[in-house]
Every structure is written in C-alpha cells, then in structure tokens.
Amino acid sequence: MYPRDTIAALSTPSGEGGIGLIRLSGSRALEIARKIFTPRRVSAPLETHRLILGDLHDPRSGLVLDEVLLTYMQAPRTYTREDVVEINCHSGPLVLKKILELLVHEGSRLAEPGEFTLRAFLNGRLDLTRAEGVIDLIQAKSDQALNQATRLLKGELHEKIKAQQEVLLSLLAQLEAAIDFPEEEVEIIEPGSWIRELTEEALDPLDKLIQAYEEGRPYREGVSLVIVGKPNVGKSSLLNRLLREERALVTPVPGTTRDTIEETLLLRGIPFRIIDTAGLHSSADEVEQAGMARTRRKIEEAQLLLFMIDRSTPLDERDRRLYDEIKDRPHWLLLNKTDLPAAVEEGELAAVFPRTLSLALSARTGAGLDRLKNQVGEWFLRDHPRETVPALVPNLRQKIILEKVWAALEEAREEMEKRVSPEFVALFLQQALDELGNLIGKTTPDDVLEQIFSRFCIGK
C-alpha cells in the first residue's frame, strides 16, 4: 500500500439501493472533487465539513452522471487525517461503477481492503487495538460483541496497555539503577516490594484480560451447533425452519447436502452458528466422501451436537454407528417427523441412546421448534450467565500477545525470587515491553499489519 496515493472506494454495499457512499482520501481529493463536481449554487465554495448539493459530471464528455451531495473534509479533522471527500449518490451498480471509473481516471486509485483504517492508524489517529475495534464493530453478531467492540474502539484496551507500560517502565528503572550502581551499600531494590508491585499491577490485571477472552469468545464468534444424522432425516429442513428461509436445498432424495452449510441464529441475544452437515453413510462418491470428511471435522469442533433421527422409521445400523461416533461429545437427540406415525418406541430409544436428552419435533410443521430454541438458550446460559460476561475482551491476536507478555513477566518474577543479577530480570521486562508495543502497533511487523487490515471490507 502507498500512503501518498489518493484512494477511492465504495463504502456502502454494492447493488441497488437508495444511497451509495463513495469515499476519496489523499492529497488530491479536493483537486479531483473540483474537477468533477458542480455545485447547484455556482458561487458556493467547497468549504470543509459542509454538505453541498450539485451534479457529478465527466469532464471529458460533459455528461452528468448523477445528482449528488458532496462533502469535503480538510485534514487533519478526518477519519484518515488526510483530505477526504465523500460523495452521496444514488446506489445502482452502473452509476457506482461509472463514478469510480471517473475518480480513477482523474488521478485516484481503488483502495485496498481496510486501507482507509490503515491510513488512520499510520497517521496516528488510531492505535492498532482501536483499529481492530472497527472490524469487530462491523462483524459484531450480538449485543455483547457490539459492546466489546465499542470499548476497543473507544480505546479502553489501549489505556490498559499504557498503564501496564508505565508500571513496567517504573520497575525497569529500578533495575537499571541497581545495574548502574552495583557498589552502593544501600540496597536499591527491595525484592519483596518489587515482586509484589509486579504481581499486583501487572501480572494479575493481565491474567484477567486473558481470561476475558475465553469468557467473551462465544459472544463474538458464536456457539457452534452442528446438526448430524444419516441422510434424509430432516437436517436441512430443520436448518431452514430455524432460519425461516430456504437456505438449504431439500428433496426426498437422500444425500442432497454434500457440504456443510453454516448460518448464524440469535437466541436469547446469543449468536449460535447452526451448521447443517452431509449425512454420514457409506459411499463410493468422491464428492460425498469429501463432504462427510468435513462433517467429521465439524463434529470435533462442535460445542453441541444435535443428533437427529427419523422417528417415523425404525432405527437401523446407520443410526447406531453414527451414535457410537458422537456419543462421547456433548449431544442431544432430536426425534424428527413427529407429524407422522411413530415407528420407534420410547423403551428402544432409552436402550439405544442412554442418558441422552431427547426432544421431539417436526421440521416440516415447526412443532417443537420453540422448545428446542428455548432449551438451547438455557443450556448456554447455565454455564455462561450474562452478568459474568466481561465488558472488555481482547481478540485472538491480542490474547496471544498478552500471554507472551504474561510469560515474560512470570520469568522476571521467578528470576527476582532467585535473587539473580538484575540484568537478567531486566531482559524479561524489556521483552514484555516490546510485546506490548507490538500489541498497540508501535513495533508491529508489516506482514502482521497486512494480515489485520486485509480482514476489513473495501471502503473502510
């Protein structure tokens, strides 16, 4: 990416709609705007941070492309701290394409994913934790995830990291003094006090942040519910019923689903990732085999398996073999097709599937679906009460770095307890400080930055 270029991108979803927003950022943004925009009031200047009505035209042909509202925002009071122009136009695939082509012809280039936020980071408007809060905010699937992302964006994690840095710099200064004046008769560092400050002001707060990741993860990433069963028991029909849309193809032909289908469903305000899978059975078809291999991977990753059988047909060897595969994983038994006469007795179910919670339902009519959804929500909240969800939760990259910081500080504490030379203790403290710099973006390698910002959509 080349920060001196002027970049352009569509910042709203492409396609037909009421309004489309196209954004320009860079040193030539105002110059380009003046060439292609004519205010309705001819004498109206492009004043900063004012919305102006006018026409967008192609200087080559004089053709008016659209009636737009244009805003010029002068640096540094912008998202990127560069000159920014935003064009509110009508949202249609052709008009959006024509405007972007015009902007490129007049001297801008199309932005890379996340490049606007990357420039905000490079220009000092956001640290890396706040920049990551932006993508978390966009991708939030629950109220809790939205709250956690908002706190990252507001800089709460950044403030905690700054406080950690100040503590470690103070402790490092004490070590440096002991290193510089080794002959002093008065002991410069009192090890017990130094260790206590390290533990209470650094290690303990870090440990709470690391634990918060696991506690808040389900609200950010969703809880994995995998529907499993032999072919044609109604797995795809259940997915469609839960989502209230025809997401999966349903036919009377066994084996219609050959791959996993995943969608998110909110229950009790919690995002659940509902995963429909290929039916497990013997097959010589390579495509079906690949689908079943993926099913088995999803089974291993699932937090809860919804094992479905067809109650209107007798149990067979395929049901029993599949149960043997999943019985050691957290699972419930779903007795589907209750709208048809039952062909399986309660006693047989209890004998074949001992100590398994069973729920009767009909994916075709929807009977029993409300009970299933309530039970799923209650199951999760039993182990994850809402009042225990931490407000500030690091993401995976941040959590891994915090673990490295904690490990370095634990080494420093152990070395201080052994009364080793302060130089060795100082090495571990400096390592922890370097990692904290990596966390907020002060020392983050370029390839890591590229990986982070590539997760963003184009135009953000």
Helix (H, G, I), strand (E, B) or coil at 9: strand
Residue 31: φ, ψ to 5° = -60, -45
Q: Are residues 371 and 408 in the same domain?
A: no
Q: Are residues 228 and 330 in the same domain?
A: yes
Whether the full predicted model's pTM is greater than 0.85, yes or no, is: no
Which of 126, 143, 176 is where one domain is finished?
126
Q: Are residues 91 and 169 in the same domain?
A: no
Closest CA to 30 of 5, 6, 50: 6
How many residues are listed for the chain in this entry?
Answer: 460
Tens of pLDDT, residues 98-137: 999 999 999 999 999 889 999 999 999 999 999 999 988 8
Q: Are residues 79 and 48 in the same domain?
A: yes
Q: Are residues 203 and 81 in the same domain?
A: no
**For a pLDDT cut of 90, what percent of the chain falls above it?**
51
Helix (H, G, I), strand (E, B) or coil at 226: strand
Most confidently predicted of 138-142, 311-315, 384-388: 311-315
Please give the residue range of the domain that contains residue 186.
131-218+395-440
Q: Are residues 209 and 226 in the same domain?
A: no
Domain count, the chain: 3
Tens of pLDDT, residues 63-75: 999 999 999 999 9
Q: DSSP class of residue 113?
A: T
Sign of torsion over alpha carbons 243, 246, 252, 255? negative
Mean pLDDT score across all residues of the chain: 86
Q: Are residues 117 and 233 in the same domain?
A: no
Q: Are residues 80 and 194 in the same domain?
A: no
If one counts every other C-beta atom within 10 angstroms of the C-beta of residue 341, the result is: 8
Dist CA 195 CA 262 (whole Å): 49
pLDDT above 70 (res 284): no
Which of 103, 126, 149 is where one domain is finished?
126
Q: Are 29 and 84 contacting, i.e. CB atoms less than 8 angstroms apart?
A: yes
Higher-pLDDT residue of 436 and 236 is: 436
pLDDT value at position 291? 64
Most confidently predicted of 106-120, 415-429, 444-458: 106-120
Domain of residue 235, CATH code: 3.40.50.300
89, with CB counted inside 10 A (0-12, 13-18, 19+), is buried
Q: Are 204 and 255 contacting, i.e. CB atoms less than 8 angstroms apart?
A: no
Domain of residue 33, CATH code: 3.30.1360.120
Domain of residue 423, CATH code: 1.20.120.430
Q: How confident is the model at residue 44 (pLDDT cuts 50, 70, 90)?
A: low
Q: Are residues 269 and 302 in the same domain?
A: yes
